Structure 1
């Protein structure tokens, strides 16, 4: 079974709805692989992977082994880690850097073929789409509207950290939605795709032309 979970971000502890979704498909008997957004920033990789693991452990979700894929990992090792993982976590951060590194490491076929759970957070969720439509956002290192081939786990485009008071960025999202429907997710909200079944948890806003 393939389980894809697209999150925006969580302000504190993981919400119970998210934890329940994980526990429905994971039984504390596998490895966890954290895929960084900026492969060169190993300090950030360790900081955020440790925080994510701590958050899971606090909710009684544990892993046999935990691995981080970044510049310290060889391509061959990265592929083996993904193929044998129970959960792959695609980090938030720099969206374009992440997808470029994933493509450079040739990880997309392995991510598409594996069974199990794939969780994206913010940038990671965006890159899970088959065809990514990414609104311009100078504050988030997106210099222009970008359309590119993503990982291909879902046919859903999201806009994380939705802020309906940011009128300038809302205009950019509306422009991007001319290319594809975009699910705007507020923090604490997430989308679970179980095989082909789509379930939305929490507040969201749909942008479509």
Structure 2
């Protein structure tokens, strides 16, 4: 049973309830494959993300980092065999371009293990996402990017919502009419398994230009305005 985690960012480690959920879900721990957010740089190595897993007691037999030093064919093979795929945080645009350049979408979508994204990685797990200068991107124009489309919603992860809620509503208004948008700050997560969504921390749902703060815990898909795939 495939389980998906859309993470924000954690200054320390996973909160206990999230760590327990992820540990429970990770029944196979043979291979962890991390996908770089800046594949041209060897300094993006997932050190911080690995520390979260290690603190939760989640240890794998093998660790692999996918970047330009790994050939496309080998990258697909490692992803297909992975117990867990972790899309690292960092540069959302560069990671998105790499996913498409290496044609990794189908390999990730068909993986039967656990798929996790942190910050940029969570955003790229979305169906679509907004790249805008007002959302912190180094760009002069607003662009809509296609993500992995693991579910039929968008994610805005690791953003300072408390001080920028007006900006978020304005920038994502049109997208919210097409897709539900799950927005979160640091120390937050969304867990999706089959037809259920579990909320950890302060997560907001922006749909049809209406912003709602979600309660923590497990919800049925029927609680939401758009079905999960």
Structure 2 portions without partners, runs of 5+? 209-229
Match of 1:23 in 2: 23
Query: For the Cα contact (< 8 Å) 1:164–1:170, is it kept in 2?
Result: no
Query: For the Cα contact (< 8 Å) 1:90–1:120, is it kept in 2?
Result: yes
Query: For the Cα contact (< 8 Å) 1:32–1:89, is it kept in 2?
Result: yes
Q: Tell me how far apart the structure 1 counterparts of residues 24 and 115 of structure 2 sit (CA, whole Å).
A: 14
Query: For the Cα contact (< 8 Å) 2:28–2:83, is it kept in 1?
Result: no
Query: For the Cα contact (< 8 Å) 2:23–2:57, is it kept in 1?
Result: no
Match of 2:190 in 1: 191
Q: Deviations over 1:76-106 (max 9, x none)?
A: 1101110111110001122121111111111
DSSP-derived class of the 2:129 partner:
strand
Change (3 A) 1:180 1:29: closer
Matching of residues 54-203 of structure 1 within 5 Å: 54-129=51-126, 131-138=127-134, 139-162=136-159, 163-166=161-164, 167-203=166-202
Q: Please list every run of at least 4 consecutive aligned residues from structure 1 whose deviation after the TM superposition is greater than 4 angstroms.
A: none
Shifted more, 91-100 versus 114-123: the winner is: 91-100
Give the structure-1-normalised TM-score.
0.89
- Tell me the CA shift for residue 154 of structure 1: 1.5
- Tell me the CA shift for residue 195 of structure 1: 2.2
Query: For the Cα contact (< 8 Å) 1:133–1:180, is it kept in 2?
Result: no
Q: How many residues align?
A: 205
- Tell me the CA shift for residue 180 of structure 1: 2.3
- Higher relative contact order, structure no. (Cα contacts within 8 Å, ≥ 6 residues apart): 1
Structure 1 portions without partners, runs of 5+? none
Q: Deviations over 1:85-133 (max 9, x none)?
A: 111000112212111111111111111111010001111111112x313
Matched, 1:52 2:49: yes
Match of 2:203 in 1: 204
Q: Tell me how far apart the structure 2 counterparts of residues 69 and 177 of structure 1 sit (CA, whole Å).
A: 32
Give the structure-2-normalised TM-score.
0.82
Change (3 A) 1:202 1:54: closer
